[in-house]
Amino acid sequence: MNKLTTAIAALVVAGTANASDVYSYSSTFDLGELGISKLALEIPVGELDLTRGSSDAMEIRVEISGDDCRGDKEPEPTVLAKSRGDRLFIEVDGEDCTAELDIVLPESTELDIEMGVGSIDVVTSHNTRIEAGVGEVIVRVNSAEFNRMSGEVGVGEVGIRVDEGGNVESERFFITESVIWRGDGEHELDVDLGVGDISIRERD
């Protein structure tokens, strides 16, 4: 079993359930050593809080709960992980469940996030794509690192408030809003939300 498989197995099986049927999962592993530069997350319903760390270690903690919460293929909900090339895929697998994820990610790791319903609060300075159905998305950026940041919402509002001047294009058609910011950096941020609010702001 290679190092990547070992790390993923630890993430999947390190789960416990308490008396209130709250399933907890946690793991820490070195993305640099494993050759991972991109993280893809798939979350049906829940909350994501993602910050950045100074090392190559990724720390992840997940709590899954719900009155009728169960797994899609298994009796209990699970956190599934697999790798393909330099990308790590993590998926919350469950029905009638709400997941709360706290992740600390290396600074240089790129992001691809898909969520059905919930809230997302992430910190990023590299290429990031976020697609969500309903909820709130907050992205905290180092704007000097980006050449393009965009937010589009079907019903709701988009706000981009960053330190770098940049060129801003804004378009609103009835209840749909689209905002594109262009700067002098290297990376791109794309946020697409069905219903809710998008806020892109300077990180602390």
My answer on whether 129 and 102 are in the same domain is: no
Q: How many domains does the chain divide into?
A: 2
Q: How confident is the model at residue 74 (pLDDT cuts 50, 70, 90)?
A: confident
My answer on whether 17 and 70 are in the same domain is: yes
My answer on whether 65 and 119 are in the same domain is: no
Letter for the amino acid at 40?
A
**25 contacts 10 by C-beta, under 8 angstroms:** no
My answer on whether 14 and 83 are in the same domain is: yes
Q: What pLDDT, on a 0 to 100 scale, did the predictor assign at position 190? A: 98
Instruction: Select the highest-mean-pLDDT range: 61-65, 177-181, 187-191.
Output: 187-191
Answer yes or no: is 2 within a domain: yes
Residue 37, pLDDT > 90, answer yes
Q: What mean pLDDT comes out for the span 136-143?
A: 97
Answer yes or no: is 166 within a domain: yes
Q: What mean pLDDT comes out for the span 138-152?
A: 96
List the single range of 38-42, 48-52, 156-160, 170-174 with lowest mean pLDDT. 170-174
Cα distance between residue 15 and residue 195, in whole Å: 33
My answer on whether 136 and 98 are in the same domain is: no
Q: What pLDDT, on a 0 to 100 scale, did the predictor assign at position 13? A: 38
Domain with 160, as residue range(s), is 115-204
Residue 30, pLDDT > 50, answer yes
**Per-residue pLDDT tens digits for 87-132:** 999 999 888 899 999 999 999 999 999 999 999 999 999 999 999 9
Q: What pLDDT, on a 0 to 100 scale, did the predictor assign at position 84? A: 86
Answer yes or no: is 48 within a domain: no
My answer on whether 94 and 23 are in the same domain is: yes
Cα distance between residue 177 and residue 86, in whole Å: 34
Helix (H) / strand (E) element for 13: namely: helix 3-13
My answer on whether 87 and 161 are in the same domain is: no
Letter for the amino acid at 67?
D
Range list of β-strands (E), the chain: 15-17, 23-30, 38-53, 57-65, 78-84, 87-93, 98-106, 110-124, 128-141, 146-161, 167-173, 176-182, 187-202
**187 contacts 127 by C-beta, under 8 angstroms:** yes
Higher pLDDT, 182 or 167: 182
Q: What mean pLDDT comes out for the span 53-77?
A: 87
Answer yes or no: is 45 within a domain: no
Q: What pLDDT, on a 0 to 100 scale, did the predictor assign at position 20? A: 57
Residue 11, pLDDT > 50, answer no
